[in-house]
Every structure is written in structure tokens, then in C-alpha cells.
Amino acid sequence: MAESNAVEIRDVVKVFGFGEFAFSAVDHASIAIRKNEFFTLLGPSGCGKTTLLRLIAGFEFPTSGEIILNGEDIGTMPPFKRPINTVFQSYALFPHMTVAENIGFGLTMLGRPKQEVRDRVAAMLKLVRMENLAGRRTSQISGGQQQRVALARALAPQPKVLLLDEPLSALDYKLRKDMQIELKRLQGETGITFIFVTHDQEEALTMSDRIAVMSAGKILQVDSPRAIYDAPADRFVADFIGETNFLSGRIGSVTDGIAHVDTAMAGRISATLPRDFVAEGDVTVVLRPEHAALCDADDPAACQTTGTLENIVYFGTDTHYHVRLGDGETQFMLREQNKPLQRQRFSVGDRVGILFEPNAARVLRN
């Protein structure tokens, strides 16, 4: 199935520094990125995602391991020989060239005939909707336009893989939203594999076909956005993507892939088990805030547990509630969607009950 992969990273290690200062920015990472895929490397800053991207681009060389492109290890190939282009975080547009010259640079360097370069530049300008700015200097256009030029420049040589290093981080919220849609469209139209680096989980979830979550140089989980959100592989992924409540307990019984977990804080919870995971003894159960609701504390039969309402945060589309559970230490978060003309049912300091959605909880692989 190697033909369906655009890039394959095999057990890549990148060590910076020497001796006692040595540290692994990328630690035995392996991923197979498929052709025509929008693939995202997601993780907090310093997790090694940008280093991995630079290894693929050729600005760094792996300490060990292989980077396979078209069945060939390109790990030691200089960047100008790799059919891979990059959209830089700072765009890195050449300030002494016009928009069109920037876009045509790669093809000129490849020695393509002038007419072909011209045609291709025109096509690219059309693709990113910048036809009328071809002759401008890059310093004379806005941030969003610079972003589009950077994209067009990287796409013009029709690379096998396009690398995007947090390209939207310099844009303001509204423009970022527009560019997210634009990027998806471009990826669809060009059919080029995109490898996108970001620390913004929302961006990753909305745009990607698949996401690799990284931490401390290691790849923790590679999966579709839905799978990453609904079935996080471990505590880090569960905590990093979205908000999560963690409850510890002991497995009572297991039936049909559903575990019944006895917790100190919320009694018996029924939680989904990960596939092929034989659970026994102490486990951690995770529950997303939107899978719980507030209920009347005076009706214990209707509620899973009770606590004191500590904080109410209004978010426009929904409202977040922070509840201190019985032990006085655990804080439980839940989220309710706001409805028009809704009255506030509870206020800070109230004793409230919490209701879990059935089977929404999930047992974590420890």
C-alpha cells in the first residue's frame, strides 16, 4: 500500500545539542501521510511539530530514521532538490520582488521556459484571487494578501507535498476563519497533500482529514478529528483537545464493551471501553462537559452526583458551569447550550445536581 502514501516517516529521531545538553526534539516518530490528504500536526509549542515539518522540508536532517518520498529516503537531500514546498509562518516573501515574481520564483529556479512560468503565475494568481495585484511589491499588500501570495508561490511548482507552518497565526480572527475555508478549497482543487502545523486545536479539528497529536517529540495519536475528540488515546490527548472531566474509579463489571465503573465522586458510571482494551482494576474515566447537564439537587434519583456551583461563565452560544464536587477538591465542568429567552436556573453558591448523558463517558487507556 506504499503507493497510497505521499510521505512516510519511519522512526525518525532528531537530537539537538551535544552531550549533557542533548535533547530529542523528535523522538522515534513514525507516520504515513496519505496522498491527497489534509494532514495536521497538532501539539503545544515545543512539542516538536515544527521540527518534524522542517525535517520533511529539508531544513534539518534527521539524526536517525528515514523520510520516504516516492519510495526513496530523502532524509539527507537538500531542500532545493525535494519536490516539497513550504508556506512559512512569516510568509518569507522576497521583499525585492513583485507578487508575480515571487510566485514564479520556484519555476524559474527549475529552469522552466518563460512562457510556462508566465502562464502558471497567471493561473496561480487566479486560483488565490489576486489577479489585479500581480505587479505590486509584497510590502504594499495586506497580511491576508501576503498569506495568499505565499500559498500561491508554494503551490506554483506543483509540489508533491505542501507544508504549512502555522500559516494563519498572524491573521486576526475573522480573516483566519476565511483562510481556513480557502485552504480547504485549495487543497481540494489542487489535490496536493497538505501537511499543516498548528497549536490551535479548533483549527486542526475543522480542517483536517487526519490529525497527529504530538507531545515532547512523540506522536501520541494519529486519527480522524472525530476519533481524536471522541476517543482520545490517552490523558494528554484528552486534556489537550477540548475540555474534559477526569474521574478515577474501579471497574465493577464489563458487558458488551461497556464498563461499569465505581467512582468515589459520582457513584457507578457506565463508560465505553476502547477497542481491544482489557480493563481491570483502577481506571480513569473521561467525560466531555457538553455530555452533562445540571439538574435539581433535591431529586437525587434524577442526578448522577451533586456539588456546589462555583462559577458561571457566559460564552454566547453556551454557558459553562464549574461545580465543586462533594470531596471539596474535584472541579467538574459542564456546558449547556443557551436557548432564546432562557431564564437562569441556578446561581453561584447553589447546591446543584449533575446528570450524565448515557454512555457518553469513556475509559482511558492507562
Partner 1 sequence: MARRFSVQRQTGFATIAIICFFALYLPIVVLVFYAFNSADSLSSFQGLSLRWFARAFENRQVIDASIRSLQIAGVAATAATIAATMAAIATTRTEPYRGLTLKYAFINQPLMVPEIVTAVALLIFFARIKIWTGYNGLGYLIAAHTAFCVPFAYLPIRARLENMDSTLEKAAADLYATPWNAFRYVTLPLLWPGILAGFMLAFVISLDDVVITEFVKSAGQDTLPTYMLGQIRRTITPEMNAISALFLLLSICVVIVFFVVNRKRV
Partner 2 sequence: MTQPGTIEAERSRDIRKRWLLSLPALLIVLLAATGPLLIVLLYSFLTPGPYGDVLWKPSPDGWIGVFLERDIFTETLSLADAHVSIFVRSVLLSLATTLVTLLFGFPTAYFIATRPERTRELWLLLITIPFWTNLLIRTFAVLQIIRNEGLINTLLMKFGLIERPIQMLFTDGAILTGMVYVYLPLMVLPVYANLEKLDFRLVEAAYDLYATPFRVLTKIIIPLAKPGLIAGSILVFIPALGAYVTPSILGGGKNLMLGNLIELQFGQGRNWPLGSALSITLMLIVTVALLVYVRNVGSQEKRHG
Binding site for partner 2 (CB under 8 A): 61-66, 73, 75-76
CA distances from 130 to 123, 234, 346 (A): 10, 44, 53
C-alpha cell of residue 142 = 495586506
Q: How far is the CB of 12 from partner 2 (least distance, A)?
A: 9
C-alpha cell of residue 344 = 437562569
Q: Who contacts 65 (Cβ-Cβ below 8 Å, separation ≥6)? A: 9, 10, 11, 12, 13, 28, 29, 75
When asked if residue 75 is in the footprint of partner 1 (CB under 8 A), the reply is no
When asked if residue 304 is in the footprint of partner 1 (CB under 8 A), the reply is no
Name residue, grid cell 456539588.
307
Per-residue contact flags (x/-) with partner 1 for residues 23 to 62, judged by CB under 8 A: ----------------------------------xxx---
Q: Segment near partner 1 (CB under 8 A), from 40-48, 64-72, 104-112, 261-269?
A: 104-112
Query: Site for partner 1 (CB under 8 A): which residue of 48, 106, 217, 249?
Result: 106
- Complex with partner 1: residue 141 or 279, whichever CB lies closer: 141
Residues 279, 284: Cα–Cα separation, whole Å: 11
Residue 224 binds which entry of partner 2, partner 1, none, CB below 5-8 Å type-dependent: none
- Complex with partner 2: residue 61 or 315, whichever CB lies closer: 61
When asked if residue 19 is in the footprint of partner 1 (CB under 8 A), the reply is no
Q: With 0-12 CB in 10 A as exposed, 13-18 as middle and 19+ as buried, what is 191?
A: exposed
Check: CB of residue 263 under 8 Å from CB of residue 248. Answer: yes
- Nearest-10 crossing angle of helices 143-155, 173-190: 20
Q: How far is the CB of 76 from partner 2 (least distance, A)?
A: 6
In the complex, the residues that contact partner 1 under the rule CB under 8 A are: 57-59, 78-81, 84-86, 88, 90, 92-96, 105-106, 109-110, 139, 153-154, 157
